[in-house]
Amino acid sequence: MTRVTHFETARDAANAIGAKSGRPSHDVAVVLGSGWAPAAERLGSGVDIAMTDLPGFPPPTVAGHAGVVRSIDVDGHGVLVLVGRVHLYEGHPVAHVVHGVRTAVSAGCRAIVLTNAAGGVDPSLSVGQPVLIADHLNLSGQNPLAGPDVEDRFVDLSDVYSARLRALARDVDPSLVESVYAMFTGPSYETKAEVRMAATLGAGLVGMSTALEAIAARHLGAEVLGLSLVTNPAAGVASTPIHHGEVVAAGRAAADRLGELLLAIVRRALQ
C-alpha cells in the first residue's frame, strides 16, 4: 500500500476547498488565533466549510477556535480565513498543527497572515495592542521539517517574517510596533522564570502557536506576516493570575478594530 504523505493530504484538502467554495485558487490566507474569531466578520462573508469536512483537519478543542475555513472575495481575489487552529498541547502531531498553512499554500496562497493571542513580556506593551512579529524563538522542541517526507528541509529562516509585508502593515497603521515572539508548548502558562528567560533571549511576547506554522509556510515559499494581540501581561509582569477567559474577552473587545486592520493589510498585500 502506498503511504500518503502530509503534503499530499494538504493538496487533497486544497482541492476539496476549491470544489466546495467554487473558487479553484486563493491568493492570501489568514489564520485567526485565540480571541481573533470575532474579527472574521469584518473580513467579510463567504462560503464556510467545516474543517472536519476537509481531509487531514482535526477539530479544534480550544475556546475561541471555531474550526471553520471561510472562502471570501476581497477586491476580486480569493482569501482563505482559517477561523481557529489546533495546537501541540491538544495532543496533535506537528503535521496536524501546520496542516492548515500547508493546505492554504497548496490552494494557491502566496502570503500567509498568522495571528495569535500573546502574553506581553515587554512591560511597554498594553493589553489590546496589536504587535507585528519581527522574529520568533521556537521553544517548542518541535519542527515541522523533521521527518522522512520533507524535501529541501534546510530552509533559511532569517527572513521568516516578511519585511515587505511588515512594511505594508506599518503603512496601514504607523502605530504598529514590532517584537519577538517566543513559542512555548503550553498548555500551562509560562512560569515567571520562563518569562525572564524569554526576555533575556530578546522576546517581548510569549504564546503557544505560530512559530511552527511560519516555518512550514516559509518552507513552501510563502511570505509570512505575524500579528499578535496582547491579551494579558505575562507571568511576572501580570499582577493577577492569568485565565484563558480573559484572552478570549480581550479579542472580543478589540474585534472590530482588529478586523479592520486585517482587512486593510490583506488588501495591501493583494495589490
CATH code for the domain of 80: 3.40.50.1580
User: Catalytic pick from 111, 209, 219, 234?
Assistant: 209
**Packing angle, helices 244-253 and 255-270, rounded to 10:** 70
Q: Are 109 and 221 spatial neighbours (Cβ–Cβ below 8 Å)? A: no
Q: Is 42 inside any structural domain? A: yes
- How confident is the model at residue 22, as a pLDDT? 96
**Number of other CB atoms surrounding residue 247 within 10 Å:** 25
Q: Is 1 inside any structural domain? A: no
208 is catalytic: yes
89 is catalytic: yes
Q: Which domain holds residue 13?
A: 6-270
244 is catalytic: yes
In this predicted structure, the answer to whether residue 1 has a pLDDT above a threshold of 50 is: no
Residue 40 pLDDT grade (very low, low, confident, very high; cuts 50, 70, 90): confident
User: Catalytic pick from 26, 65, 96, 136?
Assistant: 65
260 is catalytic: no
Averaged pLDDT for residues 42-58? 92
209 is catalytic: yes
CA proximity to 242, closest of 138, 118, 96, 124: 118
- φ, ψ dihedrals at 157, nearest 5°: -105, 15
232 is catalytic: yes
Gap between the Cα atoms of 173 and 38, Å rounded: 20
User: Catalytic pick from 34, 116, 162, 179?
Assistant: 34
User: Catalytic pick from 8, 66, 77, 89?
Assistant: 89
pLDDT digits (tens, 9 = 90+) for 128-137: 899 999 999 9
- In the chain, % of residues over pLDDT 70: 93
Q: Considering only 52-61, 109-118, 143-152, 192-201, which range has the smallest mean pLDDT?
A: 52-61
90 is catalytic: yes
Q: 183: helix, coil or strand?
A: strand
Q: How far is CA 127 from CA 122, 135, 150, 249, 253, in A?
A: 11, 20, 39, 11, 11
Which residues of the chain form beta strands (DSSP E)?
A: 28-32, 47-50, 68-74, 77-83, 111-120, 130-138, 177-183, 205-207, 223-233
User: Catalytic pick from 6, 87, 96, 99?
Assistant: 87
In this predicted structure, the answer to whether residue 181 has a pLDDT above a threshold of 60 is: yes
- How confident is the model at residue 36, as a pLDDT? 82
Q: Is 260 inside any structural domain? A: yes
DSSP element (H, E) containing 194: helix 192-200
- φ, ψ dihedrals at 232, nearest 5°: -165, 150
User: Catalytic pick from 117, 183, 199, 254?
Assistant: 117
> What's the mean pLDDT when you consider all of the chain?
91
Q: Is 173 inside any structural domain? A: yes
- How confident is the model at residue 4, as a pLDDT? 62
Q: Is 110 inside any structural domain? A: yes
Domain count, the chain: 1
C-alpha torsion angle, residues 232, 235, 241, 242 (rounded to 10): 40
